[in-house]
Structure 1
Amino acid sequence: MQFIDQARIAVRAGRGGDGIVAFRREKYVPAGGPSGGDGGRGGDVLLVADSNLQTLLDFKYRRLFAADDGRRGGPNRSSGASASTLTIRVPCGTEVRDCRTGILLGDLTNAGEELLVAAGGRGGLGNAHYLSNRNRAPEKFTEGKEGEEWKLQLELKLLAEVGIIGLPNAGKSTLIAVLSAARPKIADYPFTTLVPNLGVVRRPSGDGTVFADIPGLIAGAARGAGLGHEFLRHIERTRLLLHLVDAGGEDVLRDLLVVEEELAAYGNGLSDRPRLVVLNKMELCDAEELEERVAVIGAHTGQPPLIISAAASQGLDALRAAVWEQLGIA
């Protein structure tokens, strides 16, 4: 499935039906009165969060969503039928903004949440409404009102409690694969991960916590370089960041600083988010090299990093325990 996390759409609510001019024509009623009915209301446009959707792919191929118009009124004071609401389903975690102003209209984070994005037009009045002592046979009616029309920006931000970040080939995809049932593409070349991957990691209580593997950041990502800038938004909602550093890299401190600088440049509080620094691929270093790299990172962060080997499934119990402690999960 193609992962699409941004889309622009136009929504148009239905027009209200017109009222009509009509008069009663009944046997034994020589002077029938006005009986024109009101028009029906135009259909609304409603966005609904759906937990079964993971991408905005549907909006790549369809950009205009228009609700039906209300029906015109009928004789004998019969009101026209109101149009049905047009329901548009979006993934949980979708932010909705007005394209023109950028104002946030709603944030659909929980399954079943609804957001009215375009109200249908009101139906017109039939001539029965204009009966008075002065005018016993009114021929006045009103037309239905136009429905609202808006252009919307949809932006999906994944709902994950833990975000896994780091440079390309730090082992993020391997880690989420061994911690959960996720099956991301894994290879030994940069930018293997082209889209975020989600995995559910079992808690001690038996519930699940969602982890997100964010595609690799590089220097300048916050300004548009590489792939990472496309997906930094997906860690805005996370409670905890796992920052993976490749223990086999030439300069682990430099690798750590590159990602830290990108978080700070992106803003939105990411650099202040609780973070666990994890030294991965411990099998690539001998004991002396590993001790030296742990000391370098510890001196920078103020505490020693966790040491794991995702590929060899080493150190994962301690990693899980540290995550649960940070999240306040027993």
Structure 2
Amino acid sequence: MSQGSNFVDYVKICCRSGKGGAGSAHLHRDVRTATGGPDGGDGGRGGHIILRGNSQFWTLLHLKYRKHIIAPDGQPGSSATSTGKSGKDEILDVPLGTIAKDAETGQVLFEITQEGETKILTPGGRGGLGNWHFKTPTNQTPRFAQPGEPGKEEWMVLELKVLADVGLVGFPNAGKSTLLSVVSAAKPEIADYPFTTIVPNLGIVSYRDSKSFVMADIPGIIEGASKGKGLGFRFLRHIERNSVLLFMVPADTHRSIAEEYEILKSELKDYNPELMQKPHILAITKSDMLDEELVAEMKKELPKGIPSIFISSVAQKGLLQLKDMLWESINQQA
């Protein structure tokens, strides 16, 4: 498979943060001082494991083969209340739209959405306090200090929701991959059988005056996808972030166009009712086989209240008008 094979939207990693350095129990001694007070410094904190948003990344592929992420330990404290050096933080760059989850509980911890945004995934252990913290009027020379806190070891899951301006929604074989390959530089695998697209394909669509927007071919929905049938959930997750949804129904559908649109809509609604708030555009694909008379007939039966257009990716029919409609819709959203 082409670009799709590099599209990794799920990785499970074992994170081990650094343990904190031990505090020092040193007592001050020098030429002039035989029995000085406590001057043991604090231990340094262990290294954190941190996620950082990076808009240059589109996938999690670079983390797929890094199963163990280990941050170094903090250094122990020393005399003259010197604090030990902190363990170096391990920073992982991730695409925008990455969600971090606890692998054991499935709990969502946070999401990275901004360029340069950093969040601690697994915190390092705190350094132990040196003995000077424990000096009291009754105990002038404490000979003990705190050990450093242990680091944490935990399995984390990183998931990516595709950030795209336009999401293509349609049953397998609606012509989504073909459209993407024609209007963008993406080269999705195209075949005449359902479920060709197993991972989302992203394409940059160039528009008038060197503008561009991102289009995502989301793997075909099947009836029942919202209930987790097939690979439904994994697919539908990618639609949540798209700002405009382009519904694609082939002209040769065995149902009516309105009927197929309603089924697609109810799948999305069952999965997440908020998807109904996004702008919808309807494209009737494979329309190069229709004559004008048939198009006029079909127009009468199209669903009301949704902008629609007849297109053919193969014959390059209606594509510029489609881009105009999408561009206008994206910018209204923005």
Fold shared per TM-score above 0.5:
yes
Distance 2:293 2:94 in 1: 52
Find out whether 1:309 has 2:312 as its counterpart. Answer: yes
Instruction: Say whether the 8 Å CA contact 2:164–2:215 is kept in structure 1.
Output: yes
Q: Cα deviations across residues 181-235 of structure 1 (Å, max 9, x unaligned)? A: 1111122222222211111123445332111111111211222334454211111
Which sections of structure 2, spanning at least 5 residues, go unmatched? Answer: none
* Separation (CA, whole Å) in 1 of partners of 2:320 and 2:207: 12
Q: Corresponding residue for 2:145?
A: 141
How far apart are residue 60 of structure 1 and its match? 4.2
- In the TM superposition, what is the alpha-carbon distance from 1:61 to its structure 2 partner? 3.8
The answer to whether the Cα contact below 8 Å between 1:247 and 1:290 also exists between their aligned partners in 2 is no
Give the AA of the match of 2:319: L
Q: Is the 8 A contact 2:188 2:201 kept in 1?
A: yes
Counterpart position of 2:84:
80
1:119 maps to 2:139 = no
Letter in 2 for 1:265: D
Structure 2 distance, partners of 1:263, 1:121, is 44
**Residue 242 of structure 1, aligned match among 234, 243, 246:** 246
What TM-score comes out, normalization by structure 1 length?
A: 0.88
- The 1-side partners of 2:308 and 2:135 are apart by 82
Indicate the percent of aligned positions where both proteins have the same amino acid: 43
Deviations 1:148-180 (A, max 9, x none): 555433221011111111111111111112212
Selected match of 1:5 from 2, 9, 15: 9
Match of 2:283 in 1: 278
CA RMSD of aligned residues (A): 2.5
8 Å CA contact retained: 2:72, 2:87: yes
Q: Is the 8 A contact 2:75 2:85 kept in 1?
A: yes
- Matched position secondary structure for 2:210: coil
Give yes or no for the alignment of 1:51 onto 2:73: no
Q: 1:172 corresponds to which letter in structure 2?
A: K
Residue aligned with 1:53, SS: coil
Partners of 1:6 and 1:102 lie apart in 2 by 13
Matched AA of 2:118 = E
After TM superposition, the score normalised by the length of structure 2 is 0.87
Is 1:261 the counterpart of 2:266 in the alignment? Answer: yes
Question: Conserved in 2, the CA contact under 8 Å of 1:38 and 1:77?
Answer: yes
Q: Is the 8 A contact 1:16 1:145 kept in 2?
A: yes
**Which moves more between the two structures, 164-173 or 4-13?**
4-13
* Contact 1:126-1:141 within 8 A present in 2 as well: yes
- Determine the structure 2 residue equivalent to 1:167: 171
Does the Cα contact within 8 Å between 1:18 and 1:71 map onto a contact in 2? Answer: yes
Distance in 2 (CA, whole Å) between partners of 1:33 and 1:67 is 35
**Counterpart secondary structure, 2:85:** coil
Instruction: Check the 8 A contact 1:282/1:308 in 2, yes or no.
Output: yes
- SS of 1:38's partner is coil
8 Å CA contact retained: 1:97, 1:103: yes
**Greater alpha carbon shift after TM alignment, 21-30 vs 115-124:** 21-30
String of CA shifts for 1:7-34, please: whole Å, max 9, x gaps.
3334343221111222344334333443
CA 1:261/1:130 → structure 2, altered by over 3 Å: closer, same or farther? closer
Aligned AA (1:313): Q
Is the 8 Å Cα contact of residues 168 and 191 (structure 1) preserved in structure 2?
yes
